[in-house]
Structure 1
Amino acid sequence: MKGINHLFLRLLYLSVCWLVAIKPVLLAKEPDKLAICSTLFLFFVPLFIDYCSFEVNTKKGRFLKYCGAYSSLMGVVFTIVCSYEGIVLHSNEKAFGILKLWLLWRLLSIWVILSFGDWLVLSFDPVELKIQKIVKKKMRKQKEKLLKETPLSKRISYYEKEYEKPTKNTEGAEV
């Protein structure tokens, strides 16, 4: 179905992660630093990897890609920095230094909104869809050409020719 692609699934994944993140971040009586860092890591790393694999063709798409890639990279760096022993989680205040955990949870919603924008632009923008069709055709032609040039295709064509040759019966008559 149109619009149901990996970007929609990513949007669902991030929404669920955002909702799950409320437990260790806000609802825990005593927040656990490891649980918070693990949640953030599982939120940001797949997002960063996905942004690195994007191929976009419009200005809106490039803007969303670079905003998402750099901001999720900053999120990964923040998570790694917070996981070290020097950064203290103040359980009674529910804060990493001066960053309150409720603010952190609300900041995560930015990436959910950004993911929604990615899904809309890259799945429904007419210019992006037109360019994606052209790119698909070119990629398929390149793959077909590559398959024809491989040594395997030469071997297959040799055996196809051998198969088409008439075979001789043991008595010498052609079959």
Structure 2
Amino acid sequence: MDIDEIVEQYHQKLYKLCLFYLHNEEEAEEILHDIFIKVLKKQSTFKGESNIYTWLYRIAVNTIINHINRKKIVEFISFESAAGHPEITYPSTDGDAVDVDPAVRLEKEEIENLKIEKLEHCIGRLSNREKTAFYFFHFDNLKQKEIATIMKTSVSAVESLIHKAMKKIRKCVKPQEPV
């Protein structure tokens, strides 16, 4: 597979991965550019023993984490940026989706934004390894074995990372009990 095919096939997924970690479109584009430069330089080292997807994501994750560590950035990820923010509509009685009253809609969007911000904050508190496993499992729908290969760890370690991430997120988003 030549570099043009790689860019065409994986650009969007790698861009979303960058956004997931960096939460900044310009920075994500810059790092994505760096990733493809590394892929071009290292293309001859790809032996085809593993899936190209695994090889690309390993380069991407390493590049992103190195960037974060270099700049000492502790950013949280954005579901809104990575997955888009859907417009809120509600089903009408005839089954078609309809827009709600603008004031009600605005209030509901504000509530949704607060929930998203809380979730972003909680995910942002995860370790890089937990974020990586969480992202690949929940956003890219990778199997745990594929994640283990990308992260160069065991399947049981990936299971543990995903479990810990979910446990931390649930605890963080759970409303605090009044004392």
Q: Please report the TM-score for the alignment, with normalisation by the length of structure 1.
A: 0.26
Q: Which has the larger radius of gyration?
A: 1
Q: Please report the TM-score for the alignment, with normalisation by the length of structure 2.
A: 0.26
Higher relative CO (Cα under 8 Å, sequence separation at least 6) belongs to 1
